[in-house]
Amino acid sequence: MRVTPSFPLLGEPGEWDVLTLISACCFLEAQGEPEEGILGVAWVIRRRAVDWNLGWHKAILGPEGLAYGDGHPFEPFSAFGDDYRLRARARLGAAENTEPFWYAAACALWKLLPDPVGGATHYLNEAVTKKIRKGTFPAWAADPNDPTFAAAAIRPRALTLTAYARLALADLFVHGIGGGRYDRATDAIVRVFFGIEPPAYATVTATHFLPFSGGGRADEERRRLQRLLLDLQHNPDRFLSTDGPHHELVKEKWALIRRLDEASSMTRRERRQATQRIREINLILQVAVAGQVADVQETMRAIDARHRDAEVTDYRGYPFLLFPATAVDGLVDLLAGQRVAAPRGGVA
């Protein structure tokens, strides 16, 4: 029986290695699909990452290369959207028989199998999409021979739908943060296509957390500790006194590093031997910093425990009806007060 790694349950997906991120994305997007479908999803990811020159993390997670905390509620692949965060973690934690997803990811990453989808950069599940859209497909995926295509009077995508609403329906269109960002593109389309100045729109958002106790997330601190842990593992000499019992080993290590940097005449075998010796020295020195490594790992485990709680307590997508009425009223009063206090011509 082959053994495949478990998917990460904690941490920011933007910090996962490329193979893990592609595998998790394939699992979340294509669980239940045949192996050819899983491979197709992996190749769609590759097309965006390579053909669009985005890189793997940005192709999956957007321009910041982060799933959460980047100011974008939705990512290019919906499995990593803020609104799906808890379900994604739950599914990854309960994942079984994950070998097809790791295999597909590896095949797309290293081109071990050919592209089964002919260069496609998008995909959809026909049955699920028809169910969600009441029998129709989005315009980019519709088959002109499909009767649902002919029966649909209007089949707009997000930008054209918003443009129609702003131009023909609304006195003032109100967006959240995500829509407020993409509607700058709508402005450009309206100017070019219709030759008119687009009507103004508003962007309104407010983040209010449920009244849970807890320390919240500490992502930056965990990243700092992760970097420190890597440094302890690969550069343990940086954490040892210069005149301690390991002084000679440290001197030998840095002499080898300087030799590798400066000596272009070294044979391949000599370079390999020097590199191997540096690794051996690092292993010896790691014993001396084992206590520091244990302290860092313990602190990271404590932060991870906080993060597990924060997955629930710091989620910003809960509906307002779950909040105490006084909290909602207070937020509305605060926003209303800021609006009244706004200067003429200003934005509140």
- Per residue in 82-137, pLDDT tens? 878 888 888 888 888 899 999 999 999 999 999 888 888 887 766 667 776 677 76
Terminal Cα distance for the chain, rounded: 61
Question: Would you state the structure tokens that stand for residue 150, as one six-digit string?
Answer: 């002919």
How remote is the C-alpha of 276 from its chain's centroid? Answer: 36
- Per residue in 241-287, pLDDT tens? 877 788 888 888 888 888 888 766 788 888 888 889 988 988 888 88
Q: Among 123, 148, 167, identify where a domain stops.
A: 123
Do 187 and 226 sit in the same domain of this protein?
no
Q: Which residue has the tokens 């389309």?
A: 189
Do 193 and 223 sit in the same domain of this protein?
no
Distance between CA atoms of residues 119 and 101, nearest Å: 20
Can you give the pLDDT at residue 238? 87
Can you give the pLDDT at residue 60? 94
What is the residue-wise DSSP string for 42-73? HHHHHIIIIITT--HHHHHH-TTS-SSSSS-S
Torsion of CA 40, 42, 46, 48, to 10 degrees: 80
Q: How confident is residue 304, by pLDDT bands cut at 50, 70 and 90?
A: confident
- Residue whose C-alpha is closest to residue 304's, from 215, 229, 227: 215
- Per residue in 36-79, pLDDT tens? 889 999 999 999 999 999 999 999 998 889 888 777 778 888 88
- Does residue 70 lie within any of the structural domains? yes
Contacting residues for 3 by C-beta, under 8 A, at least 6 apart: none
Do 110 and 70 sit in the same domain of this protein?
yes
Do 292 and 237 sit in the same domain of this protein?
yes
Contacting residues for 64 by C-beta, under 8 A, at least 6 apart: 14, 58, 70, 71, 72
Residue 293 structural domain = 219-313
Do 119 and 20 sit in the same domain of this protein?
yes
Q: Among 106, 123, 140, identify where a domain stops.
A: 123
Q: Among 80, 106, 123, identify where a domain stops.
A: 123
pLDDT above 80 for 298: yes
Share of the chain above pLDDT 90, in %: 19
**24 contacts 77 by C-beta, under 8 angstroms:** no
* Longest pairwise C-alpha distance within the chain: 82
Domain count, the chain: 3
- Does residue 117 lie within any of the structural domains? yes
